[in-house]
Amino acid sequence: MKFIELKNDKITVTLCSLGAAIYRLIYDHNDMMLSPINEQDFDKEGVFYNKTIGRVTGRILKDNKVILHGGPHGLCHQEFNYVKEDNRVIFTYVSLGDESSNEGTLKVKVTYTLIDNALITETEITPDQKIDASLTNHSFFCLGAKDINELSLRFNSDSYVIYDEKLLAIGKENIKDKYNFYEFTNVMKYGDIDNFFLLKEKEVLLHSNKYQLKLITDYQGVHLFTDYFPDGVKTRLIITAL
């Protein structure tokens, strides 16, 4: 597990070869992303902070077993090769067919480029045959907040996906009586959230007292996960006080 730093006068980003991850992102002297204080916690099974997730993001049923985020041998637990080029780091990994019972070989390339006040991420995959693959970066954004109640989330949705006992999607329900996501200003009052929400407008806004993050998507919805589940990992900043 190697840590690589990219830095200019606006942003300092620390990347990690394990899972081709963003370990820490500092802008204007503030942490923009949540990350473990102890670097070794990054190597624990089930710790997904800001890592590349796959081969398949989310939960799927494979050989009568539910596999989450690629399972214990998924991309987030793999050591990527890397090359640093000035303001850029290129991570590469070859995923073989014996990982999490997946067939076929998948070449993965994740590139982080630091330009002015922007960190640009690019993910490329090259399969040797038709396979299941859907990668993402499992980011936890805190936008410099010292407490989760300093964060406000806004998106327009009227329904969310419901799951069976194996946490596999089986349908959807109206969110009117449970959430008010158009003006979602107090995350903690809802407790733990781990749901896929169908969007009426393809935009999500997260903002703190100083910064704003805008997500624009052409997907049907967005999966919202709050870092509310105890996993024994101490993280920077966010205080989950009720």
Q: pLDDT tens digits, residue range 165-198? A: 877 888 888 877 666 665 666 555 666 778 888 9
Model's pTM, two decimal places?
Answer: 0.86
Q: What is the set of domains in the chain, with CATH numbers?
A: 1-140 (2.70.98.10), 146-242 (no CATH)
Select from 186, 193, 168, 204 the least CA-distant residue to 242: 186
Q: How many residues does the chain have?
A: 242
pLDDT at 241: 44
Contacts (Cβ under 8 Å, ≥6 apart) of 174: 158, 159
Q: What is the mean pLDDT of each run of 10 residues along the chain (242 residues)?
A: 93 96 92 87 83 88 82 90 95 80 86 92 92 88 84 84 83 76 60 82 88 90 73 64 41
